[in-house]
Amino acid sequence: MKIDIRAEVVKEKSFDPHFQVRVSYDDGTVKFRNELVSVSRKPPRVNVEYSETINKYIDKIDIKQVELEIMKAIVENLLSSSGKRL
């Protein structure tokens, strides 16, 4: 089965470099919806703090793919907000 991962920045709670991201995941075995993840984007690292639900399944899910979706949502948010300032 295909893994369905969705990540969306919570705009009213997110200000660069600190973001709140709502994450949903379904791989047919593990499923969670709208879990909040805190992301701090400070060089040289990005720190991700997962909810208790995600931490419970962290060994059973494709966490790298989850992180890619989270970062994609953050980059899209940054690009869309930078376009508004022009």
pLDDT tens digits, one per residue of 19-48: 999 999 999 999 999 999 999 988 889 999
Q: Which two structure tokens, joined as six digits, stand for 84?
A: 């508004």
- Least Cα distance to 74 among 1, 26, 4, 23 occurs for 23
Query: What pLDDT is recorded for position 63?
Result: 94
Report the residue count for the chain. 86
CA-CA distance, 72 to 29, in Å (whole number)? 24
CA-CA distance, 24 to 82, in Å (whole number)? 26
Q: Is 25 helix (H, G, I), strand (E, B) or coil?
A: strand
pLDDT above 70 for 85: no
